[in-house]
Amino acid sequence: MLLQIYEPGQTPLPHENEQGLAVGIDLGTTNTVVALARDQKAEIVRDARGSGLVPSVVAYIDGADPLVGEMARRQLLDRPEIVVSSIKRLMGRGAADLARLGGQLPYELGAAAEGGMARLKIGARLLTPVEISADILRAVKERAELALGRNVDRAVVTVPAYFDDAARTATRDAARLAGLEVLRLVAEPTAAALAYGLDSKSEGVFAIYDLGGGTFDFSLLRLEKGVFQVLATGGDAALGGDDFDHAVAAKFLAERGGEFSRDEVKQALATARLAKECVSSQDPWEGELMLDAGDSSHSLTRAELEKLIEPLVARTLKIAAGVLEDAGVKPEAIDGTVLVGGSTRVPLVRAKVEEFFGKKPLADINPDEVVAVGAALQAEALTAGSDTLLLDVLPLSLGLETMGGIVEKIVERNTPIPVARGQDFTTYQDGQTAMSFHVVQGEREMADQTRSLARFELDGIPPMVAGAARIRVRFAVDADGLLSVSAEESTTGRQARVEVKPSYGLTEDEMADMLRASIDNAEADMERRLLTEARVEARRAINALEAALAVDADLLSEAERATIAAAQETLERAMSKSDRASIQGAAEALEQGTKFFAERRMDRGIRKALAGRNVAEIGG
């Protein structure tokens, strides 16, 4: 069965009241692909020339509907100022994040949208990455409807395994704007495994090496009795074929010399992409770089390309080695490696992957189309009620900030999802009637080194002594990787809840940096955490002592009060420094020096409780 787009008038347009079809969509950095599965066989929706790739490029011409795909890409050389490409790299990013990139972006930034979402100045328009992605999705939706003669209103949309909550939410929002109900967000590596039918084959561990235009993902999947389980995942959301293009474009521009505008950089990148694709299949390439300031001749050989991109390919294999180490798996134990993404067509990439694993990778299915095929199969399974069991994992740990800025991790990274985890917390001060919660994501030990996701408050807690209240905090992550957090006080049933729809100020490409930083700073982070914990415990002891003195100071003589005050002062001096052993020693000294006071208070409490009661009453 060949699904082919028809010219207007060749097939009836879909009727609005028809039951819509569910498709699979790979919303890629460089290209977007849509597929439909029937009877567990998926086919790519192709145009009249047989191409299944829709370039993820949009051109915004004044007074006209957006152009999407090849027609838009053709505008790059002539009118680069109205063209947007590689928008996937900006999904989930906020205006503040993009402003920090400065001149690295080939776009001019406009005023931020409500909620901090970035907006780009494209021609006369101000557009968010969500709106631009929605235009791409709307175009492939219409493409599928023309090809199939039916409404398309549902889709499984794939996302990089390393997309965080902000980027996943942005993807879902874009689909909704395009008129699509998202049945599920599926990680691209998992979709690739589905496409190869690995779920129906013998059990084993498979690696998914996914090098697309803008992102790199590497995942290990264990297949057991038809169940997909992601053992570990890693990647870099700012590493892909676009970086190959940048390296080639930098070579060409350096050969020309001089300063270049944003639009000229876009033009150079378009030429660089053409040269890269040419030398990947034939050698060498010779051509013209046409800029506003004039044309120049350039050449590129495969050897030159490989020298330029070898450090980038090495980065991907370093990430792969880290994921294997996380999972405790040796390269030779991998049963197969699936290549995904158009950048895996580059001969150097295939050669290095084969060298790393010691065996030829699986590349039978077009790497540009394999993810869409898997998404389509999952869409059919979901609509037919025969959902394949997919156990994805969290890319980063989720937790709460506690006293002293310490992170208490509730759900660890690489935990299979969907998942729900709970933990009990308590109050820090006497009479505390409210508690604030700060939800964070990351691997570091202190909250200021992690990513803030949400804040919410639980009030109405009955006033009790510190430590008496019991507040159950529950984290729930659904199959799409989206998070909700709730808190409930046990005695009253008082609840608070937040659906974590992240601010678009979060950057998904910091995830790999955060993981690397957690490894590089593990020892220092742990020492800082232990120091902070010692200070928090010391402050808790001082607060408890001061509360006791406020009530029962009359139990002490002047000399005893002076001794306790001196021990307290010693502890507070130790807390102002960074010697954890000194703090713990001073806290122990204070505890030992106030034991007699605690005993006297206990005796007084017992006497009060027994006052006026006879022996018979006490005996019950």
Give tens-digit pLDDT for 580-611: 888 889 988 988 888 888 888 888 877 777 66
User: Which pLDDT score, from 0 to 100, does residue 566 have?
Assistant: 92
Lowest mean pLDDT among 133-137, 195-199, 303-307, 563-567: 195-199
How sure is the predictor about 6, in pLDDT bands with cuts at 50, 70 and 90?
very low
Of the listed 210, 264, 392, 509, which one is catalytic?
210
In three-state secondary structure terms, 455 is strand
Output the CATH code of domain 398-510.
Answer: 2.60.34.10
188 labelled catalytic: yes
Lowest mean pLDDT among 144-153, 429-438, 449-458: 449-458
User: Which pLDDT score, from 0 to 100, does residue 99 have?
Assistant: 59
Q: E strands of 113-250, at which residues?
A: 120-122, 125-127, 152-159, 181-187, 204-211, 216-224, 227-236
Secondary structure percentages of the chain, helix, strand, coil, to 5: 45, 25, 30
CATH 3.30.420.40 fits 16-240+309-391, yes or no: yes
Phi/psi at 247 (5° precision): -65, -40
Q: Where are the domains of the chain?
A: 16-240+309-391, 241-308, 398-510, 520-618
Higher pLDDT, 322 or 520: 322
Stretch 459-481: mean pLDDT = 82
- The answer, yes or no, to whether the previous bond of 284 is cis (omega within 30 of 0) is yes
- Cβ proximity of 451 and 510 under 8 Å: yes
Q: Which pair of tokens denotes residue 332?
A: 């030779």
Stretch 380-405: mean pLDDT = 72
pLDDT over 70 at 64, yes or no:
yes
The whole model's pTM is what?
0.59
User: Which pLDDT score, from 0 to 100, does residue 13 have?
Assistant: 46
Phi/psi at 179 (5° precision): 85, 25
Stretch 396-407: mean pLDDT = 82
Phi/psi at 65 (5° precision): -65, 155
Higher pLDDT, 197 or 193: 193
Lowest mean pLDDT among 224-233, 384-393, 444-453: 384-393
Q: Could you read off the pLDDT of 523-582 as tens digits, one per residue?
A: 666 676 678 778 878 887 888 888 888 888 898 898 988 999 999 899 989 988 888 888
Q: Which option is the CATH number for 520-618: 1.10.510.10, 1.10.10.10, 3.30.1360.120, 1.20.1270.10?
A: 1.20.1270.10
- Cβ proximity of 127 and 117 under 8 Å: no
Distance between terminal CA atoms of the chain? 86
What does the longest C-alpha to C-alpha distance in the chain come to? Answer: 108
Lowest mean pLDDT among 47-51, 501-505, 583-587: 501-505
The rounded distance, in Å, linking the Cα atoms of 28 and 159 is: 8
How sure is the predictor about 351, in pLDDT bands with cuts at 50, 70 and 90?
very high
Q: Could you read off the pLDDT of 129-155 as tens digits, one per residue?
A: 888 999 999 999 988 988 888 889 999
217 labelled catalytic: no
Picking from 56, 230, 29, the residue whose alpha carbon sits closest to that of residue 135 is: 56
The rounded distance, in Å, linking the Cα atoms of 55 and 76 is: 12
Phi/psi at 473 (5° precision): -105, 130
Task: Report which DSSP code applies to 449.
Answer: G
Picking from 425, 522, 421, the residue whose alpha carbon sits closest to that of residue 475 is: 421
The rounded distance, in Å, linking the Cα atoms of 430 and 424 is: 18
Of the listed 164, 173, 188, 525, which one is catalytic?
188
Higher pLDDT, 142 or 76: 142
How sure is the predictor about 96, in pLDDT bands with cuts at 50, 70 and 90?
low
199 labelled catalytic: no
pLDDT over 60 at 387, yes or no:
no
How sure is the predictor about 449, in pLDDT bands with cuts at 50, 70 and 90?
confident
Stretch 367-372: mean pLDDT = 90
26 labelled catalytic: yes
In three-state secondary structure terms, 456 is strand
The rounded distance, in Å, linking the Cα atoms of 414 and 564 is: 49
User: Which pLDDT score, from 0 to 100, does residue 383 have?
Assistant: 84
Of the listed 47, 88, 145, 242, which one is catalytic?
88
* CB neighbour list of residue 524: distance below 8 Å, 6 or more residues apart: none
CATH 3.40.50.1110 fits 241-308, yes or no: no
Higher pLDDT, 224 or 11: 224
Beta bridge partners of 154: 22, 181
